[in-house]
Structure 1
Amino acid sequence: MKVARELVAAAQRWTQRRFRAAQPDQSWQHRAWSYYDTTPEVRFASKWIGNAMGKGRLFAGVRDDDGTVKPLPDSHRASELVASIAGGPAGQSQLLAAFGPHLVVAGEGWIIIRPTEDARTGQRTGEDWRVLSVLEVTSKGQDLEAEIDGEPVPIPPHDPSKPADPLAPAAIRVWDPHPRRHIEADSPIRSSLGLLEELRLLNAAVASIARSRLTGRGVLLVPHGTRFPSKPGVLDGEEDDLIDVFMQVAETAYKDPESAAAAVPIILEVPADAIGKIERVTFESDFDDLAAKLREETIRRFATGLDTPAEILLGTGEVNHWSGWQLKEEAITLAVEPRLGTLADALTTQWLRPTLEDESHPDAEQALVWYETSLLRIRANRPQTALEVHDRGVISDQALRRETGFDDDDAPTLEEKQARAARDARDESIGREPGLPVDETENMPDTLPAAAAVHDPAGTLAHMDGRGRDLVEQMKRRHGLNDDELRDVLYGLVLLHSKET
């Protein structure tokens, strides 16, 4: 596997001495996570990356001189250690998927490794791997404190000069370094905080416009002293104040937008000389219509600021299947694989190699954790791959239909297969692109002239030149024809030739 570039170290095992001099600025990360909770576009982008990373696979390897990473044998100690990460392939998939949102939102996260032990013997039985956010890990004096399942877990600082305690938990900070200050994390959300604040305000404006029932539709001017008639049960001569009625209706409409008060006009009986004196004054603003457009533009700007193609967030409704696969390929290359590389480098430098060094393994400095995304790429291009290998006769028609979203009910009938094969063969013989419509009928005749009889397809093939045999074999393979069906197609070809001559 080719390594695109040498990764810059962006991981550190918790060492109190190492973090004492410089602390990264994490104030913006609280805001970033708040937008994950309130803005669906942020959550979608984060989960998309995470789900894609979860399709990757970790393996132990060594880097050759040409930059490729060659997998180590399963029996190698490094392979055994990598295979044990998070309990195996299923746990590794969850680990990778869980780390994706952390790199997209906050640009960093923590991997907490806690050894598990037998309660009776006190012996180590395995490891518990957790992914935590920067909000769940805090410094407590000389120790680090991680919140796991609601409980504080102290993590002592690691001393590289001493052998690691096999029963002590370990904490690894993994981050995408900021180009201005390496110790700080960078993420696409960090550069979009202003846009997300603008989007929050626009969302609030649109919601306010939608909720408005009275004040948002202007002011109603009524003659002074206009009142409603008395309701049943009210003392004679008492009338309801008009303003109180309007306020009651407005409050009902706001609390229950589906109520009649939100749409039905208020019926008011007034003296005849007051007709025409009731006037409605509106405060219509262009911003009401502009707010929705501004929100759409803000979402588009946010989408272009992500590492993935904007169409991933905005939707691919205007692209076809081929360009859609290309977008996914670009997203894998630019957004998924770099983050998998960051995580793999962290596991290499802060976990695998230190573990091998503690065991005095000779390959400690060469072994590394790496990734491969073949499963993700195959699934992204599987229909296209199915079309290509079907043309080469490697998979069946049934497999092609399955991989392209069709079923056996969509298969062509025998008559359709024969007619299509005959048409394609005729088109190729006269230099026309196969599949174009022709004027001649595609119906097979009941009888043929004696000169047109082809009783032995195999014998007929023997008298053909190389191009003719290749053409017939291509017809059989492309349309799934057996010898009997091929014979009928040859009948049709001969008939067409006789009609033209």
Structure 2
Amino acid sequence: MSQIAGGPDGQSKMLGAFGKHLTVPGEGWIIVRPNSEVLSPDSPEDGHDWRVLSVREVRRQAGRLIATIDGDDVEVPEGDPENVDPEAPLAIRVWRKTPSAPLEADSPVRSSLELLEELQLLNAAVKAIARSRLTGRGILLVPKGTRFPTTGTQAGAEDDLIEILMTVAETAIRDPESAAATVPIVLEVPAESISDFKLLTFESDFDELALKLREEAVRRFAIGMEIPAEFLLGLGDVNHWSAWALTEEAIRLGIEPKLATLSYALTQQWMRPLLEAEGVDDWHRWMVWYDSSPLRVRANRSETALQVYDRGVISDDALRRETGFDDSDAPDEAELVRRAKKAAEEEQPADTELPVDETTSPPDTQQDEPEADDLPASTLPDHSALWAAADGLIWAALSAAGEKLKRTPACPRSERSRAREIEAAALHTVLPVDADGAEKWRLLDGAWTRVPEIADRYGLRPDCLTATLDAYARELIAAGVDHDFAVVPGVLLPCMSAAA
């Protein structure tokens, strides 16, 4: 794996090149040659030179494969599957297979060729409209014999109107940015034909229509691509939650399929043949694969992590990870000792003496311990029944919120068919909803009607349990995080402590 493209830097460049090749023509080539022959400074001396070429740079000629690299034709010999030579030049074809013809390439741009041809014609029409002086400024009709009055610089002579206007028009040709560019074309006609100056324009309804059609064609092309159309049309009307969801969709639909195609080609045409030639028994079980996790933008879970940490559910390491810190920011032993001393000093009671009444006997310190049946359920060592009941309440609330979410603007009509395939309790992880949206759309209204019954059953305060579960569910919806049963004990800890 470390030999592919010479390491992480070369692999990054290779992936960037295939982003274009797999999007437009749907295929590309990788030419691998020993660097001892190529002497490329970008590859190790004892390694290989990896080049990504387009379909225009690789051709078949007289049964041979010819690659054009840096202007030179390089012949790639046909390999022998029985005797693989690791040092021989190699050509790897990477392509997205057409379902009806697997040897042919397919791409989202290929399916939009007619639309792109239409867009090219509209661009040419708009360009012609912009360049045409006849369409833009029209024709000025002037009565024949019209003259300018004499000016002081003309020594009493009259100046011809057309000559003046043409001089201005010539200036527009030499300097298109000057005001003279707005002068129309002048046409002199007999005076009896017109009684006054007239301006004829040649504007067409298609001029304005062409602009609208071009905008519509661009939108249709954006919708036909594999990534969300908002990335091509602009994210001006998208909030940060929607942008996060769109990024997830772009990675899932636009990037990961291309990575899978490239990984499959490297597996089938590079790694497995080499492993088989080297005698590896399980060569068919090895493969090249990708990791897209560094591309994903995670929702901000810092606030949730702080609250869950206060309830004793996650560790210090997890809290630092979710808030953007690392282990180097952890307090050292001296810092922990200082904090412990400070906390002990703050908790030490004031040094006061209470008067002692010698006439009364000291209270009886020996009291009968209550039986287990007399204790509330929240103080018993095993609270599994309470946690299970709370888990059911949370799950039911998220399911009800998911059903309501399908009928809100957060779930456009184009996504409702896909939303029906997702479990309602997890729909908030796919359709982002901020805290205001959960309140505005009343996603959790009526979700806690059974809380008082559960609270009385286990000796908890109903108002505390309701507020705790509601706050937790809203945090999950706002952060787009799945509910986890392991978090329930920490969620209920404040109410259990209050009841104890």
TM range (shorter): 0.5 to 0.7
Query: Counterpart in 2 of 1:467?
Result: 494
**Which residue identity does 2:300 align to in structure 1?**
Q
The change in CA–CA distance for 1:119 and 1:374 in structure 2 (over 3 A counts) is closer
Deviation of 1:264 (Å): 6.8
Counterpart-to-counterpart distance in 1, 2:324 and 2:47: 44
* Conserved 8 A contact 1:142-1:157: no
Counterpart-to-counterpart distance in 2, 1:350 and 1:390: 49
Counterpart-to-counterpart distance in 2, 1:143 and 1:104: 27
* Conserved 8 A contact 1:389-1:395: yes
The change in CA–CA distance for 1:202 and 1:470 in structure 2 (over 3 A counts) is farther
Which range moves more in the overlay, 228-237 or 206-215?
Answer: 228-237
1:313-462 correspondence to structure 2 within 5 Å: 313-377=232-296, 380-381=297-298, 383-393=299-309, 394-395=318-319, 399=323
Query: Counterpart in 2 of 1:191?
Result: 111
Structure 2's unaligned 5+ residue stretches are: 310-317, 326-462, 472-491
Return the TM-score normalized by structure 2. 0.56
Structure 1's unaligned 5+ residue stretches are: 1-81, 402-426, 435-464, 472-501
Deviation of 1:228 (Å): 6.9
> 1:46-95, CA deviations, whole angstroms, 9 ceiling, x for partnerless residues?
xxxxxxxxxxxxxxxxxxxxxxxxxxxxxxxxxxxx12211111111111
Counterpart-to-counterpart distance in 2, 1:370 and 1:247: 70
The change in CA–CA distance for 1:231 and 1:112 in structure 2 (over 3 A counts) is farther
Partner SS for 2:237: coil
1:158-173 correspondence to structure 2 within 5 Å: 158-161=79-82, 163-173=83-93
**1:88 is the counterpart of 2:7:** yes
Counterpart-to-counterpart distance in 2, 1:289 and 1:237: 46
Counterpart-to-counterpart distance in 1, 2:95 and 2:286: 22
Identity of aligned residues (%): 53
**1:294 is the counterpart of 2:213:** yes
The change in CA–CA distance for 1:171 and 1:388 in structure 2 (over 3 A counts) is farther
The change in CA–CA distance for 1:152 and 1:276 in structure 2 (over 3 A counts) is same
* Conserved 8 A contact 1:86-1:92: yes
Counterpart-to-counterpart distance in 2, 1:158 and 1:112: 13
Deviation of 1:241 (Å): 7.9
Query: Counterpart in 1 of 2:351?
Result: none
Partner SS for 1:370: coil
Query: Counterpart in 2 of 1:415?
Result: none
**Which residue identity does 1:322 align to in structure 2?**
W
Number of aligned residue pairs: give it.
Answer: 328
Deviation of 1:390 (Å): 4.2
Query: Counterpart in 2 of 1:154?
Result: 75
* Higher RCO, 1 vs 2 (CA within 8 Å, ≥6 residues apart): 1
**1:135 is the counterpart of 2:56:** yes
Counterpart-to-counterpart distance in 2, 1:360 and 1:372: 28
> 1:142-192, CA deviations, whole angstroms, 9 ceiling, x for partnerless residues?
32111112222111122323x233443111111111122221111111111
- The structure with the larger Rg is 2
Counterpart-to-counterpart distance in 2, 1:309 and 1:116: 41
1:225-236 correspondence to structure 2 within 5 Å: 225-226=145-146
**1:205 is the counterpart of 2:125:** yes
The change in CA–CA distance for 1:372 and 1:466 in structure 2 (over 3 A counts) is closer
Counterpart-to-counterpart distance in 2, 1:183 and 1:339: 17
Partner SS for 2:107: coil
* Conserved 8 A contact 2:22-2:96: yes
**Which residue identity does 1:183 align to in structure 2?**
L
1:204-283 correspondence to structure 2 within 5 Å: 204-226=124-146, 242=162, 249-250=168-169, 252-253=171-172, 256-263=175-182, 276-283=195-202
Counterpart-to-counterpart distance in 2, 1:189 and 1:293: 22
Query: Counterpart in 1 of 2:26?
Result: 107
Query: Counterpart in 2 of 1:497?
Result: none
**1:175 is the counterpart of 2:95:** yes
Query: Counterpart in 2 of 1:117?
Result: 36
The change in CA–CA distance for 1:390 and 1:152 in structure 2 (over 3 A counts) is farther
Partner SS for 1:174: strand
The change in CA–CA distance for 1:217 and 1:108 in structure 2 (over 3 A counts) is same
* Conserved 8 A contact 2:119-2:214: yes
Which range moves more in the overlay, 187-196 or 258-267?
Answer: 258-267
* Conserved 8 A contact 2:129-2:135: no
Deviation of 1:391 (Å): 4.0
* Conserved 8 A contact 1:213-1:250: no
Deviation of 1:266 (Å): 10
RMSD: 4.2
The change in CA–CA distance for 1:147 and 1:217 in structure 2 (over 3 A counts) is same
Deviation of 1:469 (Å): 8.5
**Which residue identity does 1:467 align to in structure 2?**
P
Deviation of 1:115 (Å): 0.9
The change in CA–CA distance for 1:279 and 1:180 in structure 2 (over 3 A counts) is same
